[in-house]
Protein backbone atom coordinates (compact mmCIF):
# COMPACT_ATOMS: atom_id res chain seq x y z
CA UNK A 1 0.00 0.00 0.00
CA UNK A 2 1.25 3.45 -0.88
CA UNK A 3 2.33 5.59 2.03
CA UNK A 4 0.76 8.57 0.31
CA UNK A 5 -2.63 6.93 0.68
CA UNK A 6 -2.02 6.21 4.33
CA UNK A 7 -0.99 9.80 5.07
CA UNK A 8 -3.94 11.40 3.23
CA UNK A 9 -6.33 13.02 5.70
CA UNK A 10 -10.02 12.18 5.59
CA UNK A 11 -12.52 14.71 4.14
CA UNK A 12 -13.98 15.27 7.60
CA UNK A 13 -10.59 16.29 8.95
CA UNK A 14 -10.15 18.70 6.03
CA UNK A 15 -13.48 20.40 6.74
CA UNK A 16 -12.62 20.66 10.42
CA UNK A 17 -9.23 22.16 9.63
CA UNK A 18 -10.75 24.62 7.19
CA UNK A 19 -13.41 25.66 9.69
CA UNK A 20 -10.84 25.99 12.42
CA UNK A 21 -8.57 27.95 10.11
CA UNK A 22 -11.38 30.36 9.31
CA UNK A 23 -12.06 31.05 12.95
CA UNK A 24 -8.35 31.42 13.66
CA UNK A 25 -8.02 33.92 10.85
CA UNK A 26 -10.99 35.89 12.12
CA UNK A 27 -9.56 35.80 15.63
CA UNK A 28 -6.18 36.96 14.41
CA UNK A 29 -7.75 40.08 12.89
CA UNK A 30 -8.35 41.44 16.38
CA UNK A 31 -4.64 41.82 17.00
CA UNK A 32 -3.98 44.39 14.24
CA UNK A 33 -5.47 47.78 13.53
CA UNK A 34 -6.41 46.96 9.88
CA UNK A 35 -7.88 43.67 11.07
CA UNK A 36 -10.06 45.40 13.64
CA UNK A 37 -11.26 47.81 10.97
CA UNK A 38 -12.19 44.90 8.70
CA UNK A 39 -14.11 43.25 11.53
CA UNK A 40 -15.88 46.53 12.22
CA UNK A 41 -16.77 46.89 8.55
CA UNK A 42 -18.13 43.33 8.46
CA UNK A 43 -20.27 44.01 11.55
CA UNK A 44 -21.73 47.24 10.13
CA UNK A 45 -22.48 45.70 6.74
CA UNK A 46 -24.09 42.63 8.35
CA UNK A 47 -26.29 44.76 10.58
CA UNK A 48 -27.17 47.02 7.65
CA UNK A 49 -28.15 44.11 5.41
CA UNK A 50 -30.25 42.51 8.17
CA UNK A 51 -31.93 45.85 8.90
CA UNK A 52 -32.82 46.32 5.25
CA UNK A 53 -34.13 42.76 5.02
CA UNK A 54 -36.26 43.19 8.15
CA UNK A 55 -37.54 46.57 6.96
CA UNK A 56 -38.75 44.98 3.74
CA UNK A 57 -40.31 42.01 5.52
CA UNK A 58 -41.98 44.21 8.15
CA UNK A 59 -43.38 46.61 5.58
CA UNK A 60 -44.68 43.75 3.43
CA UNK A 61 -46.14 41.83 6.41
CA UNK A 62 -47.94 44.82 7.91
CA UNK A 63 -49.20 45.92 4.51
CA UNK A 64 -50.47 42.43 3.64
CA UNK A 65 -52.12 42.03 7.06
CA UNK A 66 -53.83 45.41 6.84
CA UNK A 67 -54.99 44.72 3.30
CA UNK A 68 -56.37 41.30 4.27
CA UNK A 69 -58.23 42.82 7.21
CA UNK A 70 -59.88 45.42 5.01
CA UNK A 71 -60.46 43.27 1.91
CA UNK A 72 -61.35 39.87 3.36
CA UNK A 73 -61.86 39.58 7.13
CA UNK A 74 -64.17 42.55 7.72
CA UNK A 75 -66.14 42.10 4.46
CA UNK A 76 -66.76 38.47 5.44
CA UNK A 77 -68.22 39.67 8.75
CA UNK A 78 -70.53 42.02 6.86
CA UNK A 79 -71.59 39.30 4.41
CA UNK A 80 -72.30 36.87 7.26
CA UNK A 81 -74.55 39.43 8.95
CA UNK A 82 -76.26 40.12 5.63
CA UNK A 83 -76.94 36.40 5.16
CA UNK A 84 -78.44 36.12 8.63
CA UNK A 85 -80.56 39.26 8.43
CA UNK A 86 -81.82 38.42 4.93
CA UNK A 87 -82.80 34.85 5.88
CA UNK A 88 -84.37 35.97 9.15
CA UNK A 89 -86.36 38.69 7.40
CA UNK A 90 -87.37 36.26 4.65
CA UNK A 91 -88.73 33.88 7.28
CA UNK A 92 -90.62 36.68 9.00
CA UNK A 93 -92.01 38.01 5.70
CA UNK A 94 -93.09 34.53 4.58
CA UNK A 95 -94.96 34.06 7.85
CA UNK A 96 -96.62 37.47 7.56
CA UNK A 97 -97.67 36.77 3.96
CA UNK A 98 -99.07 33.42 5.09
CA UNK A 99 -101.07 35.14 7.83
CA UNK A 100 -102.69 37.39 5.24
CA UNK A 101 -104.34 34.29 3.73
CA UNK A 102 -105.17 33.61 0.10
CA UNK A 103 -103.12 35.62 -2.39
CA UNK A 104 -100.15 37.18 -0.61
CA UNK A 105 -99.85 40.98 -0.58
CA UNK A 106 -97.52 42.01 -3.44
CA UNK A 107 -95.36 44.12 -1.14
CA UNK A 108 -94.64 41.14 1.13
CA UNK A 109 -94.00 38.88 -1.85
CA UNK A 110 -91.51 41.36 -3.29
CA UNK A 111 -89.81 41.76 0.08
CA UNK A 112 -89.48 37.99 0.48
CA UNK A 113 -87.97 37.66 -3.01
CA UNK A 114 -85.57 40.54 -2.33
CA UNK A 115 -84.48 38.88 0.92
CA UNK A 116 -83.68 35.60 -0.83
CA UNK A 117 -81.79 37.46 -3.55
CA UNK A 118 -79.76 39.36 -0.91
CA UNK A 119 -79.00 36.12 0.93
CA UNK A 120 -77.93 34.33 -2.26
CA UNK A 121 -75.70 37.23 -3.33
CA UNK A 122 -74.10 37.42 0.11
CA UNK A 123 -73.51 33.65 0.17
CA UNK A 124 -71.73 33.88 -3.18
CA UNK A 125 -69.58 36.74 -1.89
CA UNK A 126 -68.80 34.83 1.32
CA UNK A 127 -67.74 31.81 -0.72
CA UNK A 128 -65.05 33.94 -2.38
CA UNK A 129 -63.83 35.20 1.00
CA UNK A 130 -63.50 31.86 2.80
CA UNK A 131 -60.50 29.54 2.22
CA UNK A 132 -61.27 26.10 0.81
CA UNK A 133 -61.61 23.45 3.49
CA UNK A 134 -62.15 25.95 6.29
CA UNK A 135 -64.98 25.97 8.82
CA UNK A 136 -66.40 29.05 7.17
CA UNK A 137 -66.41 27.36 3.75
CA UNK A 138 -68.38 24.43 5.22
CA UNK A 139 -71.01 26.82 6.57
CA UNK A 140 -71.24 28.55 3.20
CA UNK A 141 -71.85 25.20 1.43
CA UNK A 142 -74.59 24.28 3.90
CA UNK A 143 -76.23 27.66 3.42
CA UNK A 144 -76.03 27.47 -0.35
CA UNK A 145 -77.74 24.07 -0.42
CA UNK A 146 -80.24 24.92 2.31
CA UNK A 147 -81.58 28.13 0.78
CA UNK A 148 -82.85 26.23 -2.26
CA UNK A 149 -84.66 23.71 -0.02
CA UNK A 150 -86.10 26.50 2.11
CA UNK A 151 -87.40 28.34 -0.94
CA UNK A 152 -89.08 25.18 -2.22
CA UNK A 153 -90.84 24.56 1.12
CA UNK A 154 -92.12 28.14 1.29
CA UNK A 155 -93.37 27.93 -2.28
CA UNK A 156 -95.31 24.78 -1.43
CA UNK A 157 -96.76 26.40 1.71
CA UNK A 158 -97.88 29.43 -0.28
CA UNK A 159 -99.49 27.29 -2.99
CA UNK A 160 -101.44 25.28 -0.39
CA UNK A 161 -102.45 28.42 1.48
CA UNK A 162 -103.89 29.98 -1.66
CA UNK A 163 -106.13 26.92 -2.03
CA UNK A 164 -107.15 27.06 1.63
CA UNK A 165 -105.45 23.75 2.44
CA UNK A 166 -104.51 23.39 6.14
CA UNK A 167 -101.36 21.44 5.18
CA UNK A 168 -99.85 24.74 4.10
CA UNK A 169 -99.08 25.63 7.70
CA UNK A 170 -97.12 22.36 8.06
CA UNK A 171 -94.94 23.25 5.09
CA UNK A 172 -94.43 26.75 6.46
CA UNK A 173 -93.47 25.28 9.83
CA UNK A 174 -91.01 22.89 8.12
CA UNK A 175 -89.51 25.80 6.18
CA UNK A 176 -89.18 27.85 9.35
CA UNK A 177 -87.61 24.92 11.20
CA UNK A 178 -85.09 24.49 8.39
CA UNK A 179 -84.33 28.21 8.54
CA UNK A 180 -84.04 28.43 12.31
CA UNK A 181 -82.42 25.09 13.05
CA UNK A 182 -80.00 24.88 10.11
CA UNK A 183 -79.64 28.04 8.05
CA UNK A 184 -79.57 30.68 10.76
CA UNK A 185 -77.22 28.66 13.03
CA UNK A 186 -74.87 28.23 10.06
CA UNK A 187 -75.07 31.96 9.35
CA UNK A 188 -74.30 32.62 13.02
CA UNK A 189 -71.37 30.22 12.84
CA UNK A 190 -70.06 32.02 9.77
CA UNK A 191 -70.49 35.29 11.66
CA UNK A 192 -68.49 33.86 14.59
CA UNK A 193 -65.75 32.62 12.26
CA UNK A 194 -65.64 36.05 10.63
CA UNK A 195 -65.37 37.74 14.03
CA UNK A 196 -62.39 35.54 14.88
CA UNK A 197 -60.92 36.34 11.49
CA UNK A 198 -61.20 40.04 12.23
CA UNK A 199 -59.46 39.59 15.59
CA UNK A 200 -56.69 37.57 13.94
CA UNK A 201 -56.54 40.19 11.19
CA UNK A 202 -55.64 42.93 13.66
CA UNK A 203 -52.83 40.76 15.06
CA UNK A 204 -51.50 39.99 11.58
CA UNK A 205 -51.72 43.63 10.54
CA UNK A 206 -49.71 44.73 13.58
CA UNK A 207 -47.00 42.03 12.93
CA UNK A 208 -45.56 42.49 16.42
CA UNK A 209 -42.74 39.96 15.96
CA UNK A 210 -41.35 41.56 12.80
CA UNK A 211 -41.77 45.07 14.20
CA UNK A 212 -39.90 44.13 17.39
CA UNK A 213 -37.03 42.51 15.48
CA UNK A 214 -36.76 45.53 13.17
CA UNK A 215 -36.67 47.93 16.13
CA UNK A 216 -33.92 45.90 17.82
CA UNK A 217 -31.84 45.78 14.63
CA UNK A 218 -32.14 49.53 14.02
CA UNK A 219 -31.02 50.17 17.59
CA UNK A 220 -28.14 47.72 17.17
CA UNK A 221 -27.09 49.34 13.89
CA UNK A 222 -27.21 52.84 15.37
CA UNK A 223 -25.24 51.68 18.41
CA UNK A 224 -22.64 49.96 16.24
CA UNK A 225 -22.19 53.11 14.12
CA UNK A 226 -21.69 55.26 17.21
CA UNK A 227 -19.18 52.82 18.68
CA UNK A 228 -17.35 52.63 15.35
CA UNK A 229 -17.01 56.43 15.26
CA UNK A 230 -15.81 56.50 18.83
CA UNK A 231 -13.19 53.85 18.06
CA UNK A 232 -11.99 55.66 14.92
CA UNK A 233 -11.84 58.97 16.73
CA UNK A 234 -9.55 57.50 19.37
CA UNK A 235 -7.48 55.44 16.94
CA UNK A 236 -6.97 58.11 14.27
CA UNK A 237 -7.28 61.26 16.37
CA UNK A 238 -9.92 62.60 13.98
CA UNK A 239 -13.12 63.93 15.50
CA UNK A 240 -15.49 63.00 12.68
CA UNK A 241 -15.69 60.40 9.96
CA UNK A 242 -18.04 62.07 7.48
CA UNK A 243 -19.40 58.90 5.76
CA UNK A 244 -20.07 57.26 9.14
CA UNK A 245 -21.75 60.44 10.41
CA UNK A 246 -23.94 60.40 7.30
CA UNK A 247 -24.71 56.70 7.84
CA UNK A 248 -25.69 57.42 11.43
CA UNK A 249 -27.93 60.31 10.38
CA UNK A 250 -29.59 58.09 7.76
CA UNK A 251 -30.11 55.39 10.40
CA UNK A 252 -31.79 57.92 12.67
CA UNK A 253 -34.01 59.03 9.79
CA UNK A 254 -34.88 55.39 9.08
CA UNK A 255 -35.76 54.89 12.74
CA UNK A 256 -37.92 58.03 12.84
CA UNK A 257 -39.66 57.16 9.58
CA UNK A 258 -40.32 53.60 10.70
CA UNK A 259 -41.63 54.80 14.05
CA UNK A 260 -43.87 57.36 12.35
CA UNK A 261 -45.32 54.86 9.86
CA UNK A 262 -45.88 52.01 12.33
CA UNK A 263 -47.20 54.26 15.10
CA UNK A 264 -49.64 55.79 12.65
CA UNK A 265 -50.70 52.35 11.46
CA UNK A 266 -51.32 51.15 15.02
CA UNK A 267 -53.31 54.27 15.82
CA UNK A 268 -55.55 53.80 12.80
CA UNK A 269 -55.93 50.07 13.53
CA UNK A 270 -57.00 50.90 17.07
CA UNK A 271 -59.63 53.35 15.84
CA UNK A 272 -60.77 50.91 13.15
CA UNK A 273 -61.36 48.39 15.93
CA UNK A 274 -62.91 50.62 18.59
CA UNK A 275 -64.99 52.82 16.27
CA UNK A 276 -65.44 50.41 13.35
CA UNK A 277 -65.41 46.64 13.57
CA UNK A 278 -66.42 46.33 17.24
CA UNK A 279 -69.53 48.53 16.83
CA UNK A 280 -70.29 46.79 13.52
CA UNK A 281 -70.35 43.41 15.27
CA UNK A 282 -72.55 44.72 18.09
CA UNK A 283 -74.93 46.48 15.72
CA UNK A 284 -75.16 43.37 13.55
CA UNK A 285 -76.01 41.24 16.56
CA UNK A 286 -78.66 43.80 17.57
CA UNK A 287 -80.30 43.60 14.14
CA UNK A 288 -80.26 39.81 14.37
CA UNK A 289 -82.06 39.99 17.72
CA UNK A 290 -84.64 42.45 16.36
CA UNK A 291 -85.39 40.15 13.43
CA UNK A 292 -85.77 37.25 15.84
CA UNK A 293 -88.41 39.21 17.70
CA UNK A 294 -90.39 40.00 14.56
CA UNK A 295 -90.11 36.43 13.28
CA UNK A 296 -91.20 34.94 16.61
CA UNK A 297 -94.25 37.22 16.62
CA UNK A 298 -95.36 36.11 13.15
CA UNK A 299 -94.68 32.41 13.77
CA UNK A 300 -96.53 32.49 17.09
CA UNK A 301 -99.63 33.69 15.25
CA UNK A 302 -99.14 31.28 12.36
CA UNK A 303 -98.99 28.36 14.80
CA UNK A 304 -102.57 29.10 15.99
CA UNK A 305 -101.99 28.54 19.69
CA UNK A 306 -99.24 25.92 19.43
CA UNK A 307 -96.31 28.31 19.10
CA UNK A 308 -95.28 28.66 22.74
CA UNK A 309 -91.64 28.03 21.80
CA UNK A 310 -91.70 31.11 19.59
CA UNK A 311 -93.18 33.23 22.38
CA UNK A 312 -90.43 32.02 24.72
CA UNK A 313 -87.76 32.85 22.16
CA UNK A 314 -89.30 36.30 21.69
CA UNK A 315 -88.87 37.00 25.39
CA UNK A 316 -85.25 35.85 25.27
CA UNK A 317 -84.48 38.00 22.21
CA UNK A 318 -86.27 40.98 23.79
CA UNK A 319 -84.16 40.77 26.95
CA UNK A 320 -80.91 40.51 25.00
CA UNK A 321 -81.80 43.35 22.62
CA UNK A 322 -82.97 45.68 25.40
CA UNK A 323 -79.66 45.11 27.15
CA UNK A 324 -77.67 45.61 23.92
CA UNK A 325 -79.47 48.87 23.14
CA UNK A 326 -78.02 50.35 26.31
CA UNK A 327 -74.69 50.55 24.51
CA UNK A 328 -73.34 53.94 23.46
CA UNK A 329 -73.56 53.01 19.78
CA UNK A 330 -77.37 53.18 19.89
CA UNK A 331 -79.32 56.44 19.91
CA UNK A 332 -82.18 57.38 22.20
CA UNK A 333 -84.48 57.48 19.16
CA UNK A 334 -83.61 53.88 18.38
CA UNK A 335 -84.29 52.79 21.94
CA UNK A 336 -87.62 54.65 21.86
CA UNK A 337 -88.55 52.97 18.55
CA UNK A 338 -87.85 49.56 20.05
CA UNK A 339 -90.03 50.32 23.07
CA UNK A 340 -92.81 51.43 20.73
CA UNK A 341 -92.57 48.15 18.86
CA UNK A 342 -92.67 46.18 22.10
CA UNK A 343 -95.83 48.06 23.07
CA UNK A 344 -97.41 47.14 19.73
CA UNK A 345 -96.37 43.52 20.24
CA UNK A 346 -98.03 43.49 23.64
CA UNK A 347 -101.29 44.54 22.00
CA UNK A 348 -100.91 41.77 19.41
CA UNK A 349 -100.31 39.18 22.13
CA UNK A 350 -103.27 40.44 24.19
CA UNK A 351 -105.62 40.23 21.22
CA UNK A 352 -104.39 36.74 20.31
CA UNK A 353 -104.68 35.44 23.86
CA UNK A 354 -108.08 37.10 24.23
CA UNK A 355 -109.48 35.17 21.28
CA UNK A 356 -109.36 38.03 18.74
CA UNK A 357 -107.03 36.18 16.39
CA UNK A 358 -108.00 38.05 13.22
CA UNK A 359 -107.56 41.40 14.94
CA UNK A 360 -104.16 40.27 16.24
CA UNK A 361 -103.10 39.29 12.72
CA UNK A 362 -104.29 42.59 11.24
CA UNK A 363 -102.40 44.55 13.88
CA UNK A 364 -99.24 42.45 13.50
CA UNK A 365 -99.01 42.83 9.73
CA UNK A 366 -100.61 46.27 9.64
CA UNK A 367 -98.89 49.42 8.50
CA UNK A 368 -98.43 50.96 11.94
CA UNK A 369 -96.74 47.95 13.56
CA UNK A 370 -94.67 47.26 10.45
CA UNK A 371 -93.45 50.84 10.23
CA UNK A 372 -92.65 50.88 13.95
CA UNK A 373 -90.53 47.74 13.59
CA UNK A 374 -88.87 48.94 10.39
CA UNK A 375 -87.82 52.13 12.15
CA UNK A 376 -85.85 49.88 14.53
CA UNK A 377 -84.07 47.93 11.80
CA UNK A 378 -83.59 51.08 9.69
CA UNK A 379 -81.95 52.84 12.63
CA UNK A 380 -79.62 49.92 13.22
CA UNK A 381 -78.86 49.73 9.51
CA UNK A 382 -78.03 53.42 9.34
CA UNK A 383 -75.70 53.10 12.33
CA UNK A 384 -74.12 50.04 10.69
CA UNK A 385 -73.41 51.93 7.48
CA UNK A 386 -71.80 54.74 9.45
CA UNK A 387 -69.52 52.38 11.37
CA UNK A 388 -68.56 50.51 8.19
CA UNK A 389 -67.53 53.82 6.66
CA UNK A 390 -65.39 54.61 9.71
CA UNK A 391 -63.73 51.20 9.49
CA UNK A 392 -62.97 51.54 5.79
CA UNK A 393 -61.57 55.02 6.29
CA UNK A 394 -59.31 53.97 9.17
CA UNK A 395 -58.09 50.81 7.45
CA UNK A 396 -57.28 52.80 4.33
CA UNK A 397 -55.30 55.29 6.41
CA UNK A 398 -53.57 52.46 8.28
CA UNK A 399 -52.12 51.15 5.03
CA UNK A 400 -50.54 54.49 4.10
CA UNK A 401 -46.74 54.38 4.23
CA UNK A 402 -46.38 50.61 4.71
CA UNK A 403 -45.43 50.05 1.07
CA UNK A 404 -42.92 52.88 1.34
CA UNK A 405 -41.37 51.15 4.33
CA UNK A 406 -41.15 47.90 2.40
CA UNK A 407 -39.44 49.64 -0.55
CA UNK A 408 -37.39 52.49 0.89
CA UNK A 409 -36.40 50.71 4.09
CA UNK A 410 -34.07 48.30 2.25
CA UNK A 411 -32.83 51.15 0.02
CA UNK A 412 -31.96 53.26 3.06
CA UNK A 413 -30.22 50.28 4.67
CA UNK A 414 -28.20 49.69 1.48
CA UNK A 415 -27.14 53.35 1.48
CA UNK A 416 -26.07 52.97 5.13
CA UNK A 417 -23.93 49.97 4.18
CA UNK A 418 -22.32 51.92 1.34
CA UNK A 419 -21.57 54.90 3.58
CA UNK A 420 -20.21 52.66 6.34
CA UNK A 421 -18.01 50.89 3.80
CA UNK A 422 -16.72 54.19 2.48
CA UNK A 423 -15.91 55.44 5.96
CA UNK A 424 -14.03 52.30 7.01
CA UNK A 425 -12.28 51.84 3.67
CA UNK A 426 -10.86 55.34 3.84
CA UNK A 427 -9.10 54.41 7.08
CA UNK A 428 -7.96 51.06 5.71
CA UNK A 429 -6.28 52.85 2.80
CA UNK A 430 -3.96 54.52 5.28
CA UNK A 431 -2.41 51.14 6.16
CA UNK A 432 -1.46 50.28 2.58
Per DSSP, 71 falls in state: I
Question: Domain locations in the chain?
Answer: 40-198+208-429
User: From the first residue on, what is the mean pLDDT of each consecutive set of 10 residues in the chain (432 residues)?
Assistant: 48 49 54 70 90 93 90 88 89 81 78 92 94 92 93 87 75 86 91 88 90 94 91 73 91 93 91 87 86 86 78 90 86 91 92 88 86 90 88 88 89 92 76 58
Per DSSP, 303 falls in state: T
Contact between residue 258 and residue 218 where contact means Cβ atoms under 8 Å apart: yes
> Dihedral of the CA atoms 73, 76, 78, 84 (nearest 10)?
-140
Cα 207 to Cα 412: distance, rounded to the nearest angstrom: 21
Longest dimension (CA), the chain: 118
Cα 30 to Cα 37: distance, rounded to the nearest angstrom: 9
Cα 162 to Cα 172: distance, rounded to the nearest angstrom: 13
pLDDT at 2: 46
Contact between residue 394 and residue 268 where contact means Cβ atoms under 8 Å apart: yes
Contact between residue 412 and residue 55 where contact means Cβ atoms under 8 Å apart: yes
Q: Which residue, among 150, 431, 184, 163, has the nearest Cα to 288 in the 3D structure? A: 184
User: pTM of whole model > 0.85?
Assistant: no
pLDDT at 53: 94
Angle in degrees, 0-180, between the axes of helices 74-100 and 278-302, rounded to the nearest 10? 20
Cα 245 to Cα 242: distance, rounded to the nearest angstrom: 5
Angle in degrees, 0-180, between the axes of helices 208-236 and 184-206, rounded to the nearest 10? 0
| Neighbour tally for 383: CB within 10 Å | 20
pLDDT at 3: 47
Helix (H) or strand (E) holding 416: helix 402-429
Contact between residue 187 and residue 285 where contact means Cβ atoms under 8 Å apart: no
Angle (nearest 5°) at CA 264 between 260 and 265: 120
Amino acid sequence: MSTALVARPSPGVQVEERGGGLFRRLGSLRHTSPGRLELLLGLLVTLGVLTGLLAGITGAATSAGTSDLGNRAQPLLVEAETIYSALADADTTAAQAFLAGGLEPPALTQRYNDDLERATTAISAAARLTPDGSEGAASVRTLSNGVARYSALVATARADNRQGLPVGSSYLSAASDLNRQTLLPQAQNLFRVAQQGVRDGYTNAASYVWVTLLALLILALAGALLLAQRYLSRATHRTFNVPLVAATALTVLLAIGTLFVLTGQNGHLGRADSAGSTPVAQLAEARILALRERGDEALTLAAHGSGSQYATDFTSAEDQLTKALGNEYFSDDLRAAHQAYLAAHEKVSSLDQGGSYDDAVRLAIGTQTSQTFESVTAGIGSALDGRKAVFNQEIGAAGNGLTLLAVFGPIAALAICVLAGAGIRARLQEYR
